C-alpha cells in the first residue's frame, strides 16, 4: 500500500524533523516537495501574507 503524508505548519515548527522521523521509523520516504518554488511558479509571492481564502485556493491547486 502506498502512503502519502503532507505536513504543513509554520516556519520552524518541526515539519522536516517530523517528516524525517516518519521516514526513519515507518519507512515512508521523505520527499522535499519544494512548495515555496511551486507557489512562486503559480505567481504567489512566498513571503507575502495572503488572506486565508487565497492561501487555501493556492493549496488546492497544488494538491
Residue 45 lies in a domain: yes
Residue 10 lies in a domain: no
Residue 8 lies in a domain: no
Output the pLDDT for position 19: 93
Residue 5 lies in a domain: no
Residue 3 lies in a domain: no
Decide: pTM greater than 0.85.
Answer: no
Residue 38 lies in a domain: yes
Residue-wise pLDDT tens digits, 48-63: 787 888 878 877 776 6
Residue-wise pLDDT tens digits, 21-45: 999 999 999 888 777 777 777 777 7
Q: How many domains does the chain have?
A: 1
Which range of residues forms the domain containing residue 43?
A: 15-62
Query: Is-contact 5 22, C-beta < 8 A?
Result: yes
Amino acid at each position: 500500500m502506498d502512503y502519502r503524508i503532507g505536513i504543513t505548519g509554520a516556519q520552524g515548527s518541526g515539519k522536516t524533523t517530523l517528516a524525517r522521523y516518519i521516514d526513519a521509523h515507518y519507512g515512508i520516504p521523505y520527499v522535499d516537495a519544494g512548495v515555496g518554488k511551486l507557489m512562486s511558479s503559480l505567481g504567489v509571492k512566498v513571503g507575502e501574507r495572503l488572506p486565508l481564502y487565497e492561501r487555501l485556493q493556492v493549496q488546492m491547486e497544488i494538491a
